[in-house]
Amino acid sequence: MTALFSGYGGPLPWIAFVVIALAPFALGGGSISIALLTMLFIYLCIAWNIVGGTAGQFCIGHSLFLAAGAYTPTLLSIHFGLSPWIGMFAGAAVAVIIGVFIAWLSFRYALPPLSFALVTIAFAMLGYLALSSIDFFGASRGLTLPRGGPASYQFRSDGTYYVVIAVHALAALVLSAWLYGSKIGLYLRALRDNERAAHAIGVPVLKYKMMAMAISAGLTALGGTFYAQYLQFVEPHTFAGITIVIEIILFTVVGGTGTVWGPVLGPLVLVPAGEWLRHTFGDALPGVHLLIYGLLLVTVIRIAPDGLVGALSRRWPKAELPRTTSTESA
């Protein structure tokens, strides 16, 4: 545990993360709601980065896992009165099963990366169509969650919700850092950098790719449960649409894929900026934040192809923020 917190840039980034997480309580006003959305995306980016960055498998279907985490506890609560605190694990299990099946179907037959990405988005589209058209899922109307209190994963203030998602994000960050430095992380990066070489030295390719997908899917589903409880409403566009997946991938790429801190830095910069743009120019220029996201992505890819973490590591090499371009450097 000491090695975990002393690595990855030393203790300073960890201290900075905690300070930034506490800052909204000092700022007050509407900062809590923006901070909550930022922390949610930090959590979701960390989850996606496990399979999309560390393992190098470009998955575009995470909306399916998010929807599993949102809809499963909601349906269990509506039809059986089960608390979402319990139902969220059922949602995570559903997401893991779907993710492992997609991974097995794709990697068992050694599909190339582009084909894998297309398979994941195809499954996500099937999920979206099912949720949009089947009355049991509320169809396009969506479902309103039963009202409740803390025992039903519902709270009176945004501040309490923020604490919950901040704990989620910190736990996911610790897990990500542990994975990065473990044998599992080494194998995943080996598969990402040179799958044939990794297979030649005895790395079980299918096992570790499926493991990465399972962890990523399960974590994403838990984020979906939180988001559903916060909104107290679930509908296909929010949870199963392509927009949220694009944002997750974009934020992670800007921060730095395959790194511990990239999924933190990306949302930390882009989510507040996007909310400010939406609030300032939303009426006159709807969608302007998406345009800025795209321009920033092109700029980052051009100037710092390994993201903000890579740029910071080159600017301040003593910071030793982990960035990888090969298994050896990892």
pLDDT digits (tens, 9 = 90+) for 17-64: 888 888 887 776 678 999 999 999 999 999 999 999 999 999 999 999
Measure the CA–CA gap between 253 and 257, rounded to whole angstroms.
5
Is the CB of residue 70 less than 8 Å from the CB of residue 228?
Answer: yes
Measure the CA–CA gap between 181 and 177, rounded to whole angstroms.
6
pLDDT of 126 higher than 50? yes
SS3 at position 168: helix
The answer to whether residue 325 is domain-embedded is no
Q: Biggest alpha carbon distance in the chain?
A: 58
SS3 at position 234: strand
The answer to whether residue 326 is domain-embedded is no
The answer to whether residue 327 is domain-embedded is no
Strand partners, 144: 233
| Burial class of 157 by CB neighbour count within 10 A (0 to 12, 13 to 18, 19+) | exposed
pLDDT of 284 higher than 70? no
Higher pLDDT, 314 or 54: 54
Residue-wise pLDDT for 166-223, tens only, equals 999 999 999 999 998 899 999 999 999 988 899 898 899 999 999 999 999 999 999 9
Domain region containing 190: 2-319
Q: How confident is the model at residue 322 (pLDDT cuts 50, 70, 90)?
A: low
* Positions of E strands within the chain: 143-144, 233-234
Residue 24: the pLDDT is 83
pLDDT of 311 higher than 60? yes
Residue 3: the pLDDT is 45
Q: How confident is the model at residue 240 (pLDDT cuts 50, 70, 90)?
A: very high
Residue 327: the pLDDT is 44
| Domain at 234, CATH number | 1.10.3470
Residue 321: the pLDDT is 53
The answer to whether residue 264 is domain-embedded is yes
pLDDT of 14 higher than 60? yes
DSSP annotation of 235 reads: -
Q: Does the reported pTM lie above 0.85?
A: yes
Flag the least confident range among 27-36, 81-90, 264-273: 27-36
Residue 326: the pLDDT is 43
Measure the CA–CA gap between 306 and 128, rounded to whole angstroms.
32
Structure tokens at 56: 């190098």
Q: Which residue is it, tokens 């960390």?
A: 46
Residue 283: the pLDDT is 63
**C-alpha distance from residue 15 to each of 5, 11, 263, 281, 323 (Å):** 10, 6, 17, 34, 20
Flag the least confident range among 104-118, 139-153, 307-321: 307-321
Q: How confident is the model at residue 308 (pLDDT cuts 50, 70, 90)?
A: confident
The answer to whether residue 312 is domain-embedded is yes
Domain count across the chain? 1
The answer to whether residue 117 is domain-embedded is yes
pLDDT of 123 higher than 80? yes
Non-local (6+) Cβ contacts of 52 within 8 A are: 58, 59, 216, 249, 252, 257
DSSP annotation of 147 reads: P
Nearest in space to 169 (alpha carbons), one of 40, 314, 73, 13: 40
Share the mean pLDDT of the chain.
88
The answer to whether residue 328 is domain-embedded is no
Looking only at the bridges linking them, the beta strands covering 143-144 and 233-234 are antiparallel
Residue 282: the pLDDT is 65
Is the CB of residue 4 less than 8 Å from the CB of residue 181?
Answer: yes
Residue 11: the pLDDT is 77
The answer to whether residue 157 is domain-embedded is yes
| Burial class of 158 by CB neighbour count within 10 A (0 to 12, 13 to 18, 19+) | middle
282-311: burial string, b at 16+ Cβ within 10 Å, e else:
eeeeeeebbeebeebbeebeeebebbbbbb
Flag the least confident range among 67-76, 130-139, 232-241, 293-302: 293-302
- Angle between the 205-231 and 84-107 helix axes, to the nearest 10 degrees? 150
- Angle between the 31-49 and 205-231 helix axes, to the nearest 10 degrees? 160
Measure the CA–CA gap between 325 and 330, rounded to whole angstroms.
8
State the average pLDDT over residues 305-319.
Answer: 72
